[in-house]
Amino acid sequence: MNIDSITNGIVIDHIKAGKGMELYKFLGLDAYEGSVALIKNVPSKKMGKKDIIKIDSLLDIDLNALGYIDPNITINIIKNEVRTEKYHPELPERITNIIRCKNPRCITSTEQELPHIFKLTDKVGPVYRCLYCETKAQ
């Protein structure tokens, strides 16, 4: 795979330097069979240094969930060597099984099979709270 150009795929740009691996794992790319490039510490005018992920396919993944990890990243969708979309991920309204509720009084602490769901309660911050006990995510 040529890391400079891809025909059809996704380029996740402006990842905070050092956060690339976290996003890579979050998207489950360690299990992905196709070509993926994780490029670290790329010089950037805006950010000093940044990480970039290039995926050589239009994978069906929930890119907006990335907004929880880093809302400043840029997602580029490439089709036939042309960039057809460029956007920042929105903050997801709900995130499931990405973070865990740490409140020992929460029902999720005793019922292991329950999904850990957090909902966006304030876009400033942003603030996510446990669906069940409303404890703020750290």
Partner 1 sequence: MRSVIDILDLSVSEIERLISVANDIIADPKKYSECCRGKKLATLFFEPSTRTRLSFEAAMYELGGNVIGFSESQSSSASKGESVSDTVKVVSYYADIIAMRHPKEGAPLVASLKAGIPVINAGDGGHNHPTQTLADLLTIKREKGTFDGLTVGLCGDLKFGRTVHSLINALSRYNNIKFVCISPDELRLPDYVRHASPQGNNMSFYETKDLEEVIGGLDILYMTRVQRERFFNEADYIRLKDSYILTPEKLKTAKNDLCIMHPLPRVNEISVAIDDDSRACYFKQVMYGKYMRMSLILMLLGITVS
Token pair in block for residue 121: 């309660």
CB of 48 to partner 1, least distance (A): 35
93 is a contact residue toward partner 1 (CB under 8 A): no
106 is a contact residue toward Zn ion (CB under 5 A): yes
Coil/strand/helix, residue 23 = helix
125 is a contact residue toward partner 1 (CB under 8 A): no
Q: Work out which of 44, 74, 76, 103 binds Zn ion, going by CB under 5 A.
A: 103
Q: Please state whether the peptide bond connecting residue 104 to the residue before it is cis, i.e. omega within 30 degrees of 0.
A: no
Which residue matches tokens 């890391």?
Answer: 3
CA 124 from centroid of its chain's CA atoms: 18
Q: Residue 3 binds which one of partner 1, Zn ion, none, with CB within 5 to 8 A depending on kind? A: none
Dist CA 59 CA 101 (whole Å): 30
6 is a contact residue toward partner 1 (CB under 8 A): no
Q: Which residues bind partner 1 (CB under 8 A)?
A: 103, 105-111, 113-114, 121, 130-136
